Amino acid sequence: QVQLAESGGGSVQAGGSLRLSCAASGYAHSARNDLCMGWFRQAPGEERRVVAAIYVDGGYTYYPDSVKGRFTISQDPTKNTVYLQMNSLKPEDTAMYFCASEPTAESYCTGGFWYNLAGTWGQGTQVTVTS
């Protein structure tokens, strides 16, 4: 059974930084060949949207315009862990952040078409940015 364990998050003032971590377990080694991992966020009353994605085999990444240049996703394959470094945080970044993973094509993962419809979700971690 695939599981995602998140850590990080919290409250920070605007302009500050936070780092989220997500450790994956339960994947067979061969399954990592087409695995997309990343982070979604959801604010109250809004849809859950991807904010960063990484295709594990090759390290290709995707960011929407709203976070591009401020957020960086990275991975440590030896630990089956992905990280989300969030800099220059804004109040509008306030949301529940969810780690996600799903075997899928690289074009979906890094083309902005990944919705994790059949994948695994972490439990979520709150990020609050105060002005």
* pLDDT tens series, the chain, 131 aa: 889 999 999 999 999 999 999 999 888 766 677 899 999 999 999 999 999 999 999 999 999 999 999 999 999 988 889 999 999 999 999 999 999 999 999 999 999 999 999 999 999 999 999 99
Tokens (6 digits) for 63: 């960011």
Q: Facing residues of 75 across strands?
A: 82
Q: Cα 112 to the chain's mean position, in Å?
A: 13
Residue 128 in contact with residue 12, Cβ under 8 Å?
A: yes
Distance CA 4, CA 23 (A): 6
pLDDT of residue 30: 65
From the list 57, 32, 31, 36, the residue with the least C-alpha distance to 109 is 36
pLDDT of residue 1: 84
pLDDT of residue 94: 98
